[in-house]
Amino acid sequence: MFNVIDDLVERGMLDQFSNREHVEKMLETKQTIYAGFDPSASSLQLGNYVCMTVLRRLQKAGHRIIAIIGGGTGMIGDPSGKKAERKFLSREDVLHNVECIKKQLSKYLDFSSPDKGILLNNGDWWEKTSTIEFLREYGKCFSINYMLDKEIVSSRLESGISFAEFSYMILQSADFYRLYKTYGCKLQVGGGDQWGNLTASMELIRKKEENPEVEVFSFKLITDSEGKKFGKSEKGALYLDPNMRSPYDIYQYFINVSDADVARYMRVFDDRSLSEIQLDIDEHNAHPELRIGQKKLAYRIVSDLHSPKVAEDCKKMSEALFSGDFSQLEQEQLEEIVKDLPRFKVEGESIGVLDALVSSTLAKSKREAREFVSSGSIRVNGNKVDSLDAVLNKEDAYFKKIFIIRRGKKSYGAIEF
């Protein structure tokens, strides 16, 4: 029989268990499992994608999932992994973010039937709960000493934590209790930085119910081989909304991951069996210079997040950047590539190649620009430049707008009219 926990552990995705043996025993029969999503932005990001892949694998193994968007708890802010107090979002912003995230989760997880998955907003009950009810029903179950011992709170004592964020643990715990009572949800999963909240949730149910069968487990927060947080680029978080971060940016992020990370990421994000994935890893390891693993990883992730058509477009753009031949790209695709290159905007109808090299920061001076041209290391729109007097005319630019300049094999700049 397929053991989904063994599979997730072998993929390097799971971290801690309240009781692994019991979790595995429970999962021998259909269970209801929940995870929460924080509406701190109008889009989820690649870090959330890890949680979604865990839920999706559990769902494919035959279990029912519940995804809760924190329309209520998001009004407070989760202190997990934060060094300082969050700024409150307005109620309007939180509600807007909840609706956006609902659409995203519905794209990646199956909520077609309540038997397969349920999508909830905890604001639906927290906004109806009085302060007195909250304190009597839940606050009474938590001692201050118990909460202070949790790393999620203790790590913030020096910098300071408000009562609002301090109470977040109780709110999340009460969510699990509500789901246990209403939907028979007995398992909760969350990120490793949520461990204090996860265990507190489980212990609340054990206090309020007689011999409940409940457990929690966590997934690892993915980092790269240097310990840097996964899903962050120089421009910030890699959001799943294509209007906030382009699919091409995500494609390039994975194209550029190190050889030390590519096999690990393939096991995490590729839905195929581990034996199939291993064949690709072996092929990559045989010829790492071809970056086979990075290309397959980037393609599969963008296909999943957006569509195979979008992944094909990203592949075409990436190959154009590698080859230096941009002639087959559409204007929108070319502009997507150019936005990340050092570039210079020309007001007139032409610019000399030496000035273009300096203006696009591919040369520090005209003297250096002359050396590059004379050595044959400059190509403009794929064509080698061998004249120091060459002029880039607007009429000859791609779409009468763009020249892409390549110096050597890897250095690019752009001129825009």
What is the residue-level pLDDT of the chain in tens, covering all 417 positions? 578 999 999 999 999 999 999 999 999 999 999 999 999 999 999 889 999 999 999 999 999 999 999 999 988 877 766 666 778 889 999 999 999 999 999 999 999 999 999 999 999 999 999 999 999 999 999 988 888 887 778 877 777 778 888 888 999 999 999 999 999 999 999 999 889 999 999 999 999 999 999 999 999 988 777 777 776 555 678 899 999 999 999 999 999 999 999 999 999 999 899 999 999 999 999 999 999 999 999 999 999 999 999 999 999 999 998 888 888 999 999 999 988 889 899 998 999 999 999 999 999 999 999 999 999 999 998 889 989 999 999 999 999 999 999 999 889 999 999
- At position 173, the amino acid (one-letter code) is S
Residue in the block written with tokens 């398992």: 187
Q: Strand pairing of 64-69 and 32-37?
A: parallel
Q: How far apart are alpha carbons 22 and 16 in whole angstroms?
A: 13
Kind and range of the H or E element at 188? Answer: strand 187-191
Give Dmax over CA atoms of the chain in angstroms. 86
Q: How far apart are alpha carbons 137 and 131 in whole angstroms?
A: 10
Q: How far apart are alpha carbons 79 and 168 in whole angstroms?
A: 8
Q: How far apart are alpha carbons 42 and 48 in whole angstroms?
A: 13
* CB-based contacts of 186, cutoff 8 Å, min separation 6: 26, 31, 32, 180, 212, 213, 214, 215
Q: Are 5 and 31 in contact (CB under 8 A)?
A: no
Torsion of the alpha carbons at 160, 162, 166 and 167, rounded to the nearest 10: 180
Q: Are 33 and 185 in contact (CB under 8 A)?
A: yes
> Is 168 within any annotated ligand binding site?
yes
Global pTM value: 0.86
Angle at 261 between CA 6 and CA 35, to 5 degrees: 45
> Is 232 within any annotated ligand binding site?
yes
- H-type alpha helices, 119-246: 123-126, 131-137, 144-149, 151-154, 163-166, 168-183, 195-208
Q: Are 60 and 215 in contact (CB under 8 A)?
A: no
Q: Are 314 and 302 in contact (CB under 8 A)?
A: yes
Q: How far apart are alpha carbons 34 and 128 in whole angstroms?
A: 22
Distances (CA, A) of 160 to 40, 156, 172, 203, 411: 21, 6, 21, 26, 46
> Is 172 within any annotated ligand binding site?
yes
